[in-house]
């Protein structure tokens, strides 16, 4: 009976997801961080609850629930509108938060701003991938 309990316990623990990925606004040593967290509450559930954790120390720290998503298919874009306004977009769902006071806006305003990166699952782990900005070559002829 004890062996069966050990096997069942290990199955319950290995099937659940609980991880996060962070974007450090001020670099690795700053206290201004946006963290996306996903948690799959039950091993039989295919969805995970997704939330954003806003940290802007010493001013504020807050968790804001966003939505439920397939546990292995979380993908959320992070956009910056400037002035500590951030837009999170997952498909048709969009949220806007402000990180000076760690609050969520009731309505999304504007186009979201510049793409900063994407939170997504890579090899079963949630990661943040920064956007790659491409420079546009100057094709205009030089004036003499």
Joined tokens for residue 105: 């806006």
Question: Which band of pLDDT confidence, cut at 50, 70 and 90, is reported for residue 125?
Answer: very high
Q: What are phi and psi of 37, to 5 degrees?
A: -125, 135
Question: Which band of pLDDT confidence, cut at 50, 70 and 90, is reported for residue 144?
Answer: low
Q: What is the pLDDT of residue 3?
A: 61
pLDDT at 4 over 70: no
* Contact present, 118 and 21 (Cβ < 8 Å): no
- Domain extent listing, the chain: 16-130
pLDDT at 137 over 70: no
Burial code (b: 16+ CB inside 10 Å, e: under 16) for 38-64 equals bebeeeeeebbbbbbbbbbeeeeebee
Question: pLDDT tens, 7-56?
Answer: 555 545 555 899 999 999 988 778 999 999 999 988 888 999 999 999 99
Predicted model pTM: 0.81
Mean pLDDT of the chain: 87
Q: What is the pLDDT of residue 42?
A: 87
Give the Cα separation of 72 and 24 in Å (integer). Answer: 24
Residue 67 CB partners (closer than 8 Å, separation 6+): 49, 50, 90, 93
Residue 9 CB partners (closer than 8 Å, separation 6+): none
Q: What is the pLDDT of residue 118?
A: 98
Give the Cα separation of 113 and 111 in Å (integer). Answer: 6
Joined tokens for residue 144: 């003499």
Question: pLDDT tens, 62-81?
Answer: 999 999 999 899 999 999 99
Helices (H) and strands (E) in the chain, counts: 1, 10
Joined tokens for residue 90: 């997952």
Q: What does the pLDDT average to over 136-142?
A: 62
């Amino acid at each position: 009976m004890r062996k069966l309990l050990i096997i069942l316990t290990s199955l319950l623990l290995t099937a659940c997801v609980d991880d996060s990925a962070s974007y450090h606004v001020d670099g690795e040593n700053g206290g201004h961080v946006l963290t996306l967290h996903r948690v799959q509450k039950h091993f039989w559930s295919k969805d995970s609850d997704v939330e954003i954790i806003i940290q802007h120390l010493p001013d504020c720290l807050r968790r804001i629930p966003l939505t439920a998503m397939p546990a292995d298919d979380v993908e959320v874009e992070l956009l910056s509108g400037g002035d500590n306004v951030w837009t999170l977009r997952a498909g048709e769902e969009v949220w806007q938060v402000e990180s000076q006071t760690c609050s969520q806006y009731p309505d999304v305003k504007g186009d979201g701003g510049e793409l900063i990166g994407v939170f997504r699952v890579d090899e079963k782990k949630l990661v943040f991938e920064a956007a790659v900005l491409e420079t546009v070559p100057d094709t205009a002829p030089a004036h003499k």
